[in-house]
């Protein structure tokens, strides 16, 4: 069982927006501003999409945004494109030498 809880699936039509949640505790998501989101497409290594809750690495489109509220973090993908399909994982720093991933959410573009 993952330390962080994500819905197993999400979907949306091209151009729409979709939000994926990631629920932890006040010992990880709620306690630190260090939530990251990763996209993994089949057969590939994960790719960092968001770090420190809402920051985007260079090259990640601004259609991807992150936020937190209490013990829940969210990733929003707006203007959905076919290439956004994949599995999205959240992760959170949990204090000294601790960390965890969520179970992953498979995003389907209809």
Partner 1 sequence: QVQLVQSGSELEKPGASVKVSCRASGYTFTGPSINWVRQAPGQGLEWMGFINTKSGKPTYAQDLIGRFVFSLDTSVSTAYLQISSLEAEDTAVYYCAKDRAYFAFDIWGQGTLVTVSS
Contact residues for partner 1, defined by CB under 8 A:
2, 32, 34, 36, 38, 40, 45-48, 51-52, 57, 87, 89, 91-93, 97-104
CB 90 within 8 A of CB 75: yes
Report which of 101, 86, 107 is spatially closest to residue 44, judged by C-alpha positions.
86
Query: C-beta of 101: minimal distance to partner 1 in Å?
Result: 4
Distance in Å, CB of 13 to partner 1, minimum: 26
Smallest separation, CB 15 to partner 1 (Å) = 29
Classify residue 80 as exposed, middle or buried by CB count within 10 Å of its CB (0-12, 13-18, 19+).
Answer: buried
For partner 1, the closer of residues 14 and 68 by Cβ is 68
Which one, 6 or 74, has the nearer CB to partner 1? Answer: 6
Q: Which is nearer to partner 1, 13 or 96 (CB)?
A: 96
- Kindly list the distances between the CA atom of residue 88 and the CA atoms of 1, 75, 99, 106, in Å, as whole numbers in the listed order: 17, 9, 17, 6
């Amino acid at each position: 069982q993952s330390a962080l809880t994500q819905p197993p699936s999400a979907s949306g039509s091209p151009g729409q927006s979709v939000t994926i949640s990631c629920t932890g505790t006040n010992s990880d998501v709620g306690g630190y501003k260090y939530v990251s989101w990763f996209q993994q497409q089949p057969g590939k290594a994960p790719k960092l999409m968001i770090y420190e809750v809402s920051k985007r690495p260079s090259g990640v489109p601004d259609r991807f945004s992150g936020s937190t509220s209490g013990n829940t973090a969210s990733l929003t993908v707006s203007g959905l494109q076919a290439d956004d399909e994949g599995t999205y994982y959240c992760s959170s720093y949990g204090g000294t030498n601790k960390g965890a991933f969520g179970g992953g959410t498979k995003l389907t573009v209809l």
